[in-house]
Amino acid sequence: MANELPSVYGGEALRIHLGDGATETEAIDPGDARRFLGGNGFAAKQIAEHVPPEADPLGPENVLAMAVGPMNGTPFQSTSRGVLGFVSPMTNGFFDSTFGGTLPRAQKTTGFEVITLHGAAEELSYVYIDGDGAEIKPAGDLAGLDTYETCEAIREAEGEGYDTHVLAIGPAGENEVRFACSLHDSEIREGVAGRGGNGAVLGSKNVKAIAVSEGSFEPEPEGDLRGRAVQQMGRLMEDTEMLQEYGTAGLVNPINEMGKLGQRNMQTEQTDPENAEAVSGETLKTEYVTEDTTCANCAVKCGKHVTVESEGITDAKIPEFESLFGTATLQEVYEIERVIAANDLCDRLGMDTISWGVTVAFARECSEKGLLSEESPHLSFGDADGLVELAEKTAHREGVGDRIAEGSFRMAESLEAEAEKYLYGAKGLEFAAHSARGLKGMSIGYATGTRGGSHHDTRPTLQYDGNHDETTEGTPEFAARSQHFTALGDSLTQCRFVSEGGWGPRINENYTEAINLATGWDLSVEEVERIGERVYNLERLINVSRGVADREADTLPHRVMNEPISEGPAEGMYCPPEELESMLDEYYAARGWNDNGHPTTDTVERLDIEDVAETV
Amino acid sequence: MEVELRYFGTVREAVGESTERRSVEAGTTVGSVLSDLEEEHSGLEGLLLEDGGVAGGVTVLRNGTHVTHFEGVETVLEGDDRLSITPPVTGG
Ligand code: SF4
């Protein structure tokens, strides 16, 4: 093991006790840097070591870790994202959610690679962090403010404008809506840590926001990586043209063409081309986009602002592809101006548009089938006004909104058994837009994802190119290796959009060379892949210890396993139980896990995580 | 016979249309349609075909199914087929 920490690392972990404001620092172990890299890996290690297996995700024993990666602030583009790691109130397992903007770049300069929040503040507060440490400041007067208002109020209070980089929760987080998110309003692009309920965890800790001011640490790459970075940049700009022009919304039309874009709570997976066109990236660009926005250290500028006069919206964040699935197609709402309004509202209230959208669509189907006792005038599919009304109700836990605020799985538990048939998610987390029926790699990837229904464990990108979309052959290993790829990328805190385009959708020489240039290590491609595998196994071990990861839990919802896609180009596709079981056998064997999906002692030893495994 | 072509994203910008119906001879392949498009529109030159196949990341669907699941560029079109063409998309 290396015994010196490479100079791209700030060197310390900062622990903040919210109850009394005490802080401690701990030096980053050079061996840990090499084993876990940063970001996702560092966050998972903190959660493994500090959260007891029985801790309530919404109780003070949960910990929220905010981590950055080793290439943050180096000439390599798009590597300056941040990671929030925590135990999720949706899945009760480990979760990491990433975000962009400028805060992670500022965190890097404080020298604190990972910052952890422990316990709970006595009253609503915000946490202020700079190069000297942290301070808990009262935020009682910010109660009820939305995410943007909160960021602005804290910037005003600190008096440094956008040099105070703020990540805030909205009313949904304060009300512990289980899928509440947090939003960072930076000068150049919004960053949203969208999934898993990190906003609810912050709310349960009485933390309204985290504010970071720059310190004096500047990462220094060990090797001369400038030439390599410039070379990388050329390809990256070429391969991300669609992203630069349309943001992620460019996916709506092509995926609808494939017949793999959920409609009407997944009752079908294709709509008329005119409907898709109405909520597509092409329409957004032509009619509503006013400017491009970007994260720190990224020339791709995939972010966009949109203006909708009829809704009184000026320069709001553009809805991402996943949000268009959750809040438009799944609802059969194709009135784009209302959809933009609902998305803007969710951002302001601080709610994950995927989990919220899928849960609302689930509620609409339960209402259609007579399973929901609440009367709501806006629970029919296609009702655009319902979007806006239900967003407010959810964030404030009013009427049926109080049920929606628990997420679809908990909502189903409170209804007749039939409701379970209409769920669309895994391990308590609603699926993203990439079809669990129409893409075989997503079927096994979602079933085994440590985050549950996340599209950032196994990635869909290669599947849309015709790889492992329609066959189960070799697909379990493909899904596992894609999970290594995402765990590695999130540990590097690299933007996935860019890495898949410019660097490659699999772990390869590009990543290895960049890591070696930045750190001065001499890792092989295999060793770099081992890092991703190690982080993924550590996450799995946390989930095993919490009783949420085994063969029974690695499953898919009823509709995905029992109802083939009814029409369109993907007609007939689904993942019957016997197909899933056989893929699980192959997946566990490829991973070195036992028949129940637990990493074996040999695997834990091979991945050099015996010490951390003991703590979970 | 006639086929329908649907263009998305930057391909649509290069062509200047979102859809078009075009007459082709029986036996026309996906590859020959892509090659014609590259010739007709300067903005598409070298973007759709690469090393004798569909260029990496470009999604070409025949009636919604990726042409790799047929015969790739050798896929022979039939009357009223719908060919959708999307440039490389990342993200989501
Ligand atoms: S591609 Fe988009 S999300 Fe990724 S770093 Fe750049 S601006 Fe941020």
Domain CATH code at residue A483? 1.10.599.10
**How far off is chain B from A247, nearest CA to CA, in Å?**
8
Largest pairwise CA distance in chain B: 38
Is the C-beta atom of A317 inside 6 A of ligand 1? no
pLDDT digits (tens, 9 = 90+) for A270-301: 999 999 999 999 999 999 999 999 999 898 89
- The verdict on A306 and A173 lying in the same domain is no
- The verdict on A366 and A471 lying in the same domain is no
- The verdict on A265 and A370 lying in the same domain is yes
Give the per-residue pLDDT at A28: 98
**Arithmetic mean of pLDDT, B60-67:** 97
A87 contact partners, CB below 8 Å, separation of at least 6: A47, A51, A55, A57, A62, A63, A93, A94, A95, A201, A542, A546
pLDDT tier, B38 (very low <50, low <70, confident <90, very high otherwise):
very high
Query: What is the residue whose two structure tokens read 């903040």?
Result: A16
Instruction: Say if residue A359's pLDDT is above 90.
Output: yes
Give the per-residue pLDDT at A498: 86
**Arithmetic mean of pLDDT, A498-518:** 92
> What is the rounded distance in angstroms from the CA atom of residue A316 to the CA atom of residue A348?
10
Helix A353-368 with A336-349: angle, nearest 10 deg: 120
Nearest Cα residue to atom 4 of ligand 1: A495
Domain holding A184: CATH number? Answer: 3.60.9.10
Residue that finishes a domain, picked among A158, A179, A213:
A213
- The verdict on A131 and A70 lying in the same domain is yes
The domain in which residue A279 lies consists of: 226-411
pTM for this predicted structure: 0.97
Contact residues on chain A for B91, CB-CB shorter than 8 A: 243, 247-248, 250-251, 302, 321, 496-497, 500
Give the per-residue pLDDT at A75: 87
Give the per-residue pLDDT at A502: 82
- The verdict on A46 and A172 lying in the same domain is yes
Residue that finishes a domain, picked among A152, A178, A213:
A213
> What is the rounded distance in angstroms from the CA atom of residue A210 to the CA atom of residue A136?
10
Question: For chain B, how far is it from start to end, CA to CA, in angstroms?
Answer: 37
Decide if A548 is inside a domain.
yes
* Mean pLDDT, chain A, whole residue set: 96
Decide if A152 is inside a domain.
yes
To which H or E segment does residue A193 belong?
strand A190-193
Contact residues on chain B for A497, CB-CB shorter than 8 A: 90-91
> What is the rounded distance in angstroms from the CA atom of residue B66 to the CA atom of residue B54?
11
Give the per-residue pLDDT at A1: 43
**Arithmetic mean of pLDDT, A334-357:** 98
Pairing of strands A425-426, B82-86: unpaired
Instruction: Say if residue A393's pLDDT is above 80.
Output: yes
- The verdict on A22 and A143 lying in the same domain is yes
- Could you tell me what percent of chain A has a pLDDT over 70? 100
Nearest Cα residue to atom 8 of ligand 1: A295
Domain total in chain A: 3
- The verdict on A72 and A23 lying in the same domain is yes
Instruction: Say if residue A379's pLDDT is above 70.
Output: yes
Instruction: Say if residue A340's pLDDT is above 80.
Output: yes
Which is the closest atom of ligand 1 to the Cα of A78? 5
Give the per-residue pLDDT at B39: 97
> Under the phi-then-psi rule, with left for phi > 0, alpha for psi from -120 to 50, and beta for the rest, what region is A439?
beta
- The verdict on A304 and A202 lying in the same domain is no
Q: What residue spans of A414-455 are helical by DSSP H?
A: 440-448
**Arithmetic mean of pLDDT, A188-199:** 97
Instruction: Say if residue A74's pLDDT is above 50.
Output: yes
- The verdict on A192 and A231 lying in the same domain is no
DSSP conformational letter for A535:
H
Residue that finishes a domain, picked among A213, A247, A271:
A213
Decide if A6 is inside a domain.
no
**Arithmetic mean of pLDDT, B24-34:** 98
> For the residues of B18-68, what is the DSSP string, one character each?
SEEEEE--TT-BHHHHHHHHHHH-GGGTTTSEETTEEPTT-EEEETTEEGG
pLDDT digits (tens, 9 = 90+) for A75-106: 888 899 999 999 999 999 999 999 999 999 99
Instruction: Say if residue A2's pLDDT is above 60.
Output: no
Is A376 in a helix, a strand, or coil? coil
Domain holding A317: CATH number? Answer: 1.10.569.10
- What fold does the segment set B2-86 form as a domain? Ubiquitin-like (UB roll) (3.10.20)
Contact residues on chain B for A273, CB-CB shorter than 8 A: 6
- Lowest average pLDDT, out of A39-43, A371-375, A500-504, goes to A371-375
> What is the rounded distance in angstroms from the CA atom of residue B6 to the CA atom of residue B21?
9
Is the C-beta atom of A78 inside 6 A of ligand 1? yes
Task: Give the number of other Cβ atoms within 10 Å of residue B1's Cβ.
Answer: 14
- The verdict on A205 and A241 lying in the same domain is no
- The verdict on A105 and A65 lying in the same domain is yes
- The verdict on A371 and A483 lying in the same domain is no
Is the C-beta atom of A318 inside 6 A of ligand 1? no
Which is the closest atom of ligand 1 to the Cα of B91? 1
CA A185 from centroid of its chain's CA atoms: 17
Whether residue A466 and residue B68 make contact (CB cut-off 8 A), yes or no, is yes
